[in-house]
Amino acid sequence: MREPSPQLKILSYAILIVAAVFALYPIWFTFLASIRPGGRLFTLDLAGMFVPKVVTWENFQQILFVKPFPIWVRNSLFIAGLTTIACVSLATSGAFAFSRFQFVGRESGLILLLALQAFPGVLALVPIALILQRLGLYGTRWGLILAYTTGTLVFTTWNLKGYFDTIPIDLEEAAMIDGAGPIQSFVRIALPLARPALATTALFGFMSGWTEYVMAQVLLAGQAQKYTAPIGLAQMASDLSTPWGQYAAGALLVSVPVVILFLWLQRYLEAGLTMGGVKG
């Protein structure tokens, strides 16, 4: 294979640098706004748009110790955490059944799930609210968890089903020859091999409950003590002013749990786990 020319290398590195600047500068811009005094989103000074001239931690102090931000984060962690557990548990068993077993309605069930995925979730907001009201869960965090879980299950089931299809069934059949039952082969063979897909499903389920705004705003029915972080930050704005500095500080703090979860799950995001597992 011929070595690329120096001009092509320089062009490739230049494109990568520009792309990195476009990807990272919004984060840097948010950080600058969070430490800029006066609650301003930006400054007219060109140099100040890239390098901070005056640094203050007042916005972080306000968001952490004056605003009920810790309560919002606690509510978000509770909702997103239980949504993640429910999605991984239900989607794993459902996807394995769709992947391994033949039963009446299997193909139509997969088509129905695909059709539901194409249906915008916002359009189902009113029916979901009515169902939760009949169940006595409207305006509660448990109702929001139920809504998030049912909305996320479609994608997570399809995602896991596709990954289970890539795992050679010969591995499970070999375990059954040694005396393992269907549940044992599922727990001891399929689940360990599906760790990358499980990690992706967990991350997607957490993000569904952590960042969503519209459904939470409607289903929590204006109960301030149950607000999640997105709703709480949005409620900080008034008709007279918008605390951009506190917004920026809150946005950075809200992103920390997602980064921690991704760093913890990335060790499971491996590829080619089952390659070479079966000969012939």
pLDDT reported for residue 169 = 83
| Average pLDDT value for residue range 162-184 | 81
Q: Angle at the Cα of 208 (from 206 to 212), degrees rounded to 5?
A: 125
Q: Angle at the Cα of 89 (from 163 to 251), degrees rounded to 5?
A: 90
| Average pLDDT value for residue range 206-234 | 88
| Confidence grade of residue 277 (pLDDT, cut at 50, 70, 90) | very low
What does the alpha-carbon distance between residue 9 and residue 193 come to, in Å, rounded to a whole number? 38
- Is the pLDDT at 274 greater than 90? The verdict is no
| Average pLDDT value for residue range 16-31 | 91
Between helix 69-100 and helix 244-265 the angle, nearest 10°, is 40
pLDDT reported for residue 272 = 42
| Average pLDDT value for residue range 66-83 | 93
In the numeric block, which tokens belong to residue 267?
Answer: 């060790």
pLDDT higher at 279 or 239: 239
125, 215 contact by CB (below 8 A): yes
196-217 pLDDT, tens digit per residue, is 888 888 998 899 889 888 889 8
pTM, two decimals, is 0.84
Q: Which residue has the tokens 């390659």?
A: 275
| Average pLDDT value for residue range 19-26 | 91
Domains defined for the chain, CATH in brackets: 6-56 (no CATH), 63-268 (1.10.3720.10)
User: For 239, how many CA atoms within 13 A lie in the half-sphere containing its CB?
Assistant: 0
151, 83 contact by CB (below 8 A): no
pLDDT reported for residue 16 = 93
97-140 pLDDT, tens digit per residue, is 888 888 888 888 888 877 777 777 778 888 899 999 999 999 89
